[in-house]
Structure 1
Amino acid sequence: MQHKKYNHKNLKWLWLSILLMLLDIETKYLIKTHFLVGEILSVLPGINFYYIRNSGLAFGIFANVDLCYRWTFIWITILIIIAFVITLYKMIGYSKYYSVSCSMIIGGALGNLLDRVLYGTVVDFIDIYIKSWHWPTFNIADMAICIGTIVLIVKHYYDC
């Protein structure tokens, strides 16, 4: 019987997950302690800090669902985090881009998961806009998940 080889060295990239989770927690804490819900501060042209509480998923989807569904989302998020940690552990022969992108997704998911479990909502505060058009408000965790996913998809596409 041949044993599968795993690359436990990829788990060293979990430091990035922890760093992103801590950065997300700290920025959300700063917003919660220095802003009122609904308060807006112009940071740069096209960028506001706008403190909102998101009870839904990405972009506020499913914001008005029952509590039992919210717990379903929490468990799905936990399973996704576990899947990405296992993927990170099992990756052999892939470039570090895969490890970094998986770690970014893990860190972002952990940051938002913590908010959902502790408070039932996620703090969003980055508002990007052009004139009267506004992108849905997001946070550092959302940014990490999106960038990690884009890097994973692009790298996978170009490696095939």
Structure 2
Amino acid sequence: MAKALTKQRGSGAGGSLAPWLGVALIVILADQLTKIAVARVFSYGQVREITSFFNLVLVYNRGAAFSFLAAAGGWQRWAFTVLGVVAALVICYLLKRHSAQRLFCTALALILGGALGNVIDRLVYGHVIDFLDFHVGGWHWPAFNVADSAITIGAVLLVFDELRRVRGSR
């Protein structure tokens, strides 16, 4: 009975990390391959218009989201690298502990892959490579990459999963 209740709640304590690490690895590979392709084809700052609302552009981000702390003295590279590694370790713990919660773990795996994709950039290049540039009229979103997209989708899925869980407990 207790085993069935645990499975029903989806805690899956001690479950397998393999499928979730596989999702994260796919995100890392897609992120790194797209960054390598753009870095080889584009020169820094070069823009290629794809549609009326989307460009490809090669830019570097030494900071965090929206270039937060990009102009700091260089310490941010290491601070954001450490933060990414710590986040990855916490996420691995959560994935192991809750491996049966599919939506929760999918969200975490996307965030893990995205975080590690950007950590790789910081370690290898000293900055994150961004290249996706969406705009409406004269207003541009900050350029981003596949890793950032995975982190954002993962965060949205986490919110959705929590809302679903809370509604289900009523």
Per the normalisation by structure 1, the TM-score is: 0.92
Matches for 1:131-150 after TM superposition, within 5 Å: 131-150=137-156
The question of 1:78 aligning with 2:85 is answered yes
Aligned-partner Cα distance in 2 for 1:151–1:14: 17
Gaps of 5+ in 2: 1-11
SS at match of 1:56: coil
Amino acid at match of 1:21: I
Out of 120-129 and 59-68, give the one that drifted further.
Answer: 59-68
Q: CA deviation at 1:92?
A: 5.6
The question of 1:101 aligning with 2:95 is answered no
SS at match of 2:44: coil
Number of aligned residues: 156
Please tell me whether the aligned partners of residues 15 and 99 of structure 2 are also in contact (alpha carbons under 8 angstroms). no
CA RMSD of aligned residues (A): 1.6
Which residue of 2 is the match for residue 156 of structure 1? 162
Please tell me whether the aligned partners of residues 10 and 99 of structure 1 are also in contact (alpha carbons under 8 angstroms). no
Aligned-partner Cα distance in 2 for 1:27–1:74: 20
Please tell me whether the aligned partners of residues 61 and 70 of structure 2 are also in contact (alpha carbons under 8 angstroms). yes
Aligned-partner Cα distance in 1 for 2:99–2:150: 23
Structure 1 segments of 4 or more deviating over 4 A? none
Per the normalisation by structure 2, the TM-score is: 0.87
Aligned-partner Cα distance in 2 for 1:146–1:59: 13
Amino acid at match of 2:82: W
Which of 24, 37, 47 aligns to 2:54? It is 47
Out of 18-27 and 37-46, give the one that drifted further.
Answer: 37-46
Please tell me whether the aligned partners of residues 21 and 110 of structure 1 are also in contact (alpha carbons under 8 angstroms). yes
Aligned-partner Cα distance in 2 for 1:58–1:46: 21
Amino acid at match of 2:41: H
Percent identical = 30
Q: CA deviation at 1:67?
A: 2.4
Please tell me whether the aligned partners of residues 99 and 105 of structure 2 are also in contact (alpha carbons under 8 angstroms). no
The question of 1:60 aligning with 2:60 is answered no
Please tell me whether the aligned partners of residues 74 and 117 of structure 1 are also in contact (alpha carbons under 8 angstroms). yes
Q: CA deviation at 1:10?
A: 4.4
Q: CA deviation at 1:155?
A: 1.1
Aligned-partner Cα distance in 2 for 1:78–1:148: 17
Please tell me whether the aligned partners of residues 42 and 49 of structure 1 are also in contact (alpha carbons under 8 angstroms). yes
Q: CA deviation at 1:50?
A: 1.0
